[in-house]
Every structure is written in C-alpha cells, then in structure tokens.
Amino acid sequence: MKPLPVTQETEQKLFFHNYARLPIAVTHGEGVWLVSDKGIRYLDMIAGIGVNALGYGDNRLVEAISNQAAKLIHASNLFMMHPQFELAEKLLELSGLSKVFFANSGTEAIEAAIKMARKWAGQFRVPEKKKVLSLSNCFHGRTYGAMSLTAKAKYVDGFEPLLPETGMIGFNDIADLEAKVSDKTAAVFVEVIQGEGGIHRISQPFIDRLKELREQYNFLIVADEIQAGCGRTGTFFSYTPLNAEPDLVCLAKPLGGGLPLSAVIGSEKVADVLSYGNHGTTFGGNPVACAAGIAMINAIREDNLMENAKTIGKYMNDELQKLAAKHSRILEIRQYGLMIGITVNKEAKYYVGKALEKQVLVNATSVNVIRLLPPLTISREDAQHCITTLDEIFTEEDAE
Ligand SMILES: Cc1ncc(COP(=O)(O)O)c(C=O)c1O
C-alpha cells in the first residue's frame, strides 16, 4: 500500500479538527533548526512549544533514551525504578521541597495538584474549604479541573458545566485577591510568568500579599511552572527571583527531554496528603522519560544553559527594543530569559505566516503577542538571525 501523503488535505481527513497545524511536515532537527520533508531548514524559535530545551539531536539525550529503552521501557508503578528515584532526587534538591509525584502531561500535573489541594484542605474540617482559585488571563490545561482554572473563554466555551468551587482573581489585582480569598480557600494556582496569556509576570507586591494571606487563611500556593520552569527564565524555577515559596509546584514540557513527563513537587506541609490508591497513572514516571529528564537536567548544568538563557535573552531584548523604536507596529517587548513576548498592533498570526515564509518559526499567543520560546542552547548568531528576519518583515510591511 502506498503511504498516505502528509499534507493538509490528508490531515483534514484523518483527524479531529482541533489543531491548526502549520503547512509543513517536519522529519528531523539539528540543534536549533527543524527540517521539513522537503529539506527546508527552519530556525525554531518555538521548540515544540517550549519543550525542546536542548534543541534537536543532543547526543546525551539520545543515548540516555536508547540505553534505558534497551533495558526497560515500561513496568508501571507496581515497581521501584532507578531512573524515577534519580530524577525525583534531583527535583527535590533543585526545589528544596519534600515529595514528588510523576505524571505524563502538564494538565495531568495540574489535575493532581487540584486533587491534592482539596484533600489537604479537607483535614481542617472547615466547612466548604474547597475553593480553588486562579488568576485572570491564565492557562493551566485542558482536562476538566485544569480547564476550570483556565481563564480564556475559547478553551472553556461549550464544555460547561465546569468543576464547582473554582474562581478567578484579577491578575496582579491585590484588592481583588483580598476580596476573593478566605478560610474557605484550599489553594491559589499561579503561573508566575503567564505563557499562553502573553508573557506577563506577577508583581512582587501581589506575591508578597498572597503569601501573607496564606498565613492568615491557611491555603496552598501552587506554582504552575509548566512553561516557565526547567531553566527557561534563567533560574530553574521562574518563581525563585520573586521568592514565591509555593507549597506545590507543577513541571512538564521540557522535563522529559521531549518525552511525555510531568511532576508535582510538594512541601513538607502536603507530604502526607495522598494515601495508597488515592491517585496514580499507569505511565507516570515512565523510566525512559525519567532517564531523558535526568540527561536533560545534567545537560542544563554541564552547558550552563540557564546562564545562556539569561545572556541570550538579554541580548534579544536589547535588539528587540531597537526594533520597537524603529517599527511603530511593535508596542511592547516582555522578556524573562528565553521566554519572550512581542506585543504588536494587529493579530500576531499574520507575523507567524510571514516568518514561516522566511523559514523562521515563531508562535502567536493572546491574539496580538508574538511568542518566542527557543531552545536554551540557542547561540547569539541564531538569535540575531531571528531578529534580522523580524526586522525584514516589519520593514517590508512599513514599505507596503
Ligand atoms: C502554564 C501551562 N500550564 C499547563 C499547560 C498544559 O500542559 P499540557 O499541554 O502538557 O497538558 C500548559 C501548556 O501549554 C502551560 O503552558
């Protein structure tokens, strides 16, 4: 039988229509470059939506995956497995927290954290201490619990009814925070740097007040580090510079080096919240994904990639500020390490298409924000190539 052509037409026939895929089929990658089946090389400033921290073809990652795959691909959590233990130890050392739970995706980590928060709150026997709050403009995932915490109508509309006893606090709105939390609050979920929301960081006063209110009302702070974590912003956790001191931390995206893996890490306060059979997942902590995660963290350390995220991020910010001064369509640049948002005065989708024509992959988020999430390995030359391409696009548009 002839293989099916990998085209948009076939895609429409085969799949539910939930992904707006770009009109290219990719076959492999080399460093920060992704290569299509037509042999065209694309500078990848999206990195699998923030997953491919080491870029493509890192030997250490490939070796760790193949060695572990040759030994044991899956056994389930009926057993103890070395890679899980080693990765858990690393995450506890990096976070200073007490316990780890492994799952497979970001939304599953959030789901587990919601369950942990409700169960933890249940021990205080305060009637109705069940409320789980999040911040406006946030994104936490697409399963029912995570979706119920997610702000945007486009992710939620048509799927109601949502999880009861959830609610939203205005982003960085301290008065609203004070009005919404109470002794009925089980947890407040925060993305310290909102990704899908357009690259916005929580303010220090908001975090400080949130921590004070946690003391007053005894609830959990849950940090969703799924997009901003694992070194992308220059520290392993994006909450570190704000000293957020979360009780639960959710990690995913780059954690498995490109394989599906997520984690919830918890403080001593929640260490005993789960008991046998309370929660679990067949594939969670898969040994191949954990081996990849160990290799990924080792490589971040060996190659000083958090430092690179800081240096190249700052370089890109400086260069983008120059572009903003030159092109009036650029309204604002927000940069935290290699998590960069460029607000423009029209739909960002337009620029995604223009960049694709010039073999540079960027992404649109929050309607009018161009988002850059390149591999943490990106060089100054490749970063400059992205800037030059954006400059060309805006210059050509100005000339139209
Ligand atoms: C901050 C944040 N939380 C949760 C998720 C959901 O993760 P996943 O797509 O792995 O379920 C994402 C995904 O983009 C995210 O950026």
Domain ranges (residues) in the chain: 78-302
> For 5-19, what is each residue's pLDDT tens digit?
999 999 999 999 999
Contact 360, 45 (CB under 8 A): yes
Q: How far is the CA of 225 from the centre of ligand 1 (A)?
A: 9
Global pTM exceeds 0.95 = yes
Q: Which ligand 1 atom is nearest residue 108's CA?
A: 11
The Cα-based distances of 363 to 181, 313, 352, 360, 386 in angstroms read: 35, 17, 6, 10, 13
Average pLDDT of the chain to the nearest whole number? 97
* Ligand 1 in reach of 145 Cβ (< 6 A): no
Q: How far is the CA of 70 from the centre of ligand 1 (A)?
A: 30
- What is the reported pLDDT for 368? 97
* Radius of gyration, alpha carbons of the chain: 21
> Which of 204, 203, 260, 262 has the alpha carbon at shortest distance from 229?
262
Q: How far is the CA of 92 from the centre of ligand 1 (A)?
A: 21
Q: How far is the CA of 44 from the centre of ligand 1 (A)?
A: 19
Q: Whose CA is nearest to atom 16 of ligand 1?
A: 227
Q: Which residues contact 164 (CB under 8 A, 6 or more apart)?
A: none
Q: Which two tokens stand for residue 231?
A: 């070194």
**What mean pLDDT is predicted for residues 114-137?**
94
The Cα-based distances of 197 to 134, 140, 150, 305, 364 in angstroms read: 13, 10, 10, 25, 11
> For 177-197, what is each residue's pLDDT tens digit?
999 999 999 999 999 999 999
Q: How far is the CA of 140 from the centre of ligand 1 (A)?
A: 6
Q: What is the dihedral of CA 167, 170, 174, 178, to 10 degrees?
A: -20
* Ligand 1 in reach of 267 Cβ (< 6 A): no
* Ligand 1 in reach of 256 Cβ (< 6 A): no
Q: Is pLDDT larger for residue 56 or for residue 151?
A: 56
CATH of domain 78-302: 3.40.640.10
* Ligand 1 in reach of 105 Cβ (< 6 A): yes
Please report which confidence band the pLDDT of residue 126 belongs to, taking 50, 70 and 90 as the band edges. confident
* Ligand 1 in reach of 310 Cβ (< 6 A): no
pLDDT score of 151 more than 90:
no
Q: Which ligand 1 atom is nearest residue 196's CA?
A: 16
Q: Which ligand 1 atom is nearest residue 228's CA?
A: 1
Contact 313, 340 (CB under 8 A): yes
- What is the reported pLDDT for 9? 94
Please report which confidence band the pLDDT of residue 389 belongs to, taking 50, 70 and 90 as the band edges. very high
Angle at Cα 186 formed by Cα 143 and Cα 250, nearest 5°?
50
Q: How far is it, in rounded angstroms, from Cα 225 to Cα 128?
A: 28
Q: How far is the CA of 280 from the centre of ligand 1 (A)?
A: 19
- What is the reported pLDDT for 335? 98
- What is the reported pLDDT for 400? 82
pLDDT score of 244 more than 90:
yes
Q: For tokens 């960085």, what's the residue?
A: 172
> For 312-361, what is each residue's pLDDT tens digit?
999 999 999 999 999 999 999 999 999 999 999 999 999 999 999 999 99
